[in-house]
Structure 1
Amino acid sequence: MTAPVQGGMGDHDYVEYVTARLPALHRLAYVLSGDAHRADDLVQQTITTLYVKWSRVRQADNLDRYVRSMLVNTFIDQRRLAWSRVRLFAEPPERVAYEPDQDERTAVRQALARVPRRQQAVLVLRFFYDLPVAEVAEILGVSVGTVKSQTAHGLTALRRLLGEQTVAALTKER
């Protein structure tokens, strides 16, 4: 799953970094996309871009934050690309309707998939990764106020999709 390496001075560092971070990157991609195959694509695209920029970005103050930003921005931008709408099925897969007795994780994942991508990214970074507002703003390249409003809009959408009690339990003490 890593990009091909062509024997440069930083290639060993790149391979070592990506190998160590691959599980965390895939987990973030999966939480954002809700699909293992799309998560693989997100990670692949991110680490390929990272390889191309490696000589410049490996000296970043917080390389993990930089790479996480790359992945989140790739996720957000992916919807705009025409190929992201292509599905390799004879018929679209059946969508499972939300039912109150479903496993809570599945219900949250389904509801989260129906929220706009930037709001998804903000909610995942804030509540799944427990990042502070300022760090989320830095990762997404937006203002703190934008993160706060996207959080509010995203939670409103989740409340509408899941019901008030479920969202209250998920965001307790935030």
Structure 2
Amino acid sequence: MNGDPDTAADITQDVFLKLLENIQSVRKIGKFQNYLLTIAVNTCNNYTKKAKPLYMDLETLEDIEDTDNAFEKIELNELKAQIQYAINTLPDYQKEVIILRFYYDLKIREIATITKASVSTVKSRLQQGIKKLERYLADFRGGDNV
């Protein structure tokens, strides 16, 4: 978290400690992945409320196939950095749904369960977040369509 491996390790440890403390309720809730992500989201939200991050390293950006062209690699790295920066400029509630939808490939209902928001609220946050990302990336690329 915040590009700091020590902080990320601490938060990960907190997530698994909370999971172990409440493991008996997993069967009652349903899907284990949703339960684990709910704990992770809440733990990260609690951390960011205490110390507002200036930068968050999203290692979940997928690696795109290597290319032999060095210029293409530089462009790709720059684009990945801009996407990461653009996501970080979003309000937390939009950033959260973008990450859960596109990096964890969760369905809208699952995101609603994890974030404790209604399905329509999640859809709205997702749509608004995507529009903001599109505008930011179009500006970054000089007005070109994304």
- Ranked by relative contact order (alpha carbons within 8 Å, sequence separation 6 or more), the top structure is 2
Change (3 A) 1:62 1:130: same
Change (3 A) 1:43 1:85: same
Q: Distance in 2 between matches of 1:69 and 1:121?
A: 11
Alignment partner, residue 21 of structure 2: 52
Q: Distance in 2 between matches of 1:154 and 1:114?
A: 10
TM, length-normalised to structure 1: 0.58
Alignment partner, residue 101 of structure 2: 126
CA offsets, 1:63-96, max 9 Å, x none? 2210111111222332222xx249xxxxx99xxx
Q: CA RMSD in A?
A: 3.0
AA of the residue aligned to 2:34? R
Check whether the contact 1:34–1:109 (CA below 8 A) recurs between aligned residues.
no
Q: Which runs of 5+ in 2 are unaligned?
A: 56-74
- After TM superposition, the structure 1 = structure 2 runs for residues 51-130 of structure 1, keeping only pairs within 5 Å, are 51-57=20-26, 60-81=29-50, 84-85=51-52, 101=75, 102-130=77-105
Aligned-pair identity in percent equals 27
Q: Distance in 1 between matches of 2:2 and 2:49?
A: 18
CA offsets, 1:22-55, max 9 Å, x none? xxxxxxxxxxx46252432331221121122223
Check whether the contact 1:76–1:121 (CA below 8 A) recurs between aligned residues.
no
Q: Distance in 2 between matches of 1:152 and 1:59?
A: 32
Q: Distance in 1 between matches of 2:22 and 2:117?
A: 22
Q: Which runs of 5+ in 1 are unaligned?
A: 1-32, 87-91, 94-100, 170-174
Check whether the contact 1:76–1:118 (CA below 8 A) recurs between aligned residues.
no
CA offsets, 1:116-139, max 9 Å, x none? 122111001111222221111111
Q: Distance in 1 between matches of 2:134 and 2:116?
A: 26
Q: Distance in 1 between matches of 2:92 and 2:105?
A: 18
The answer to whether structure 1 residue 35 and structure 2 residue 10 are counterparts is no
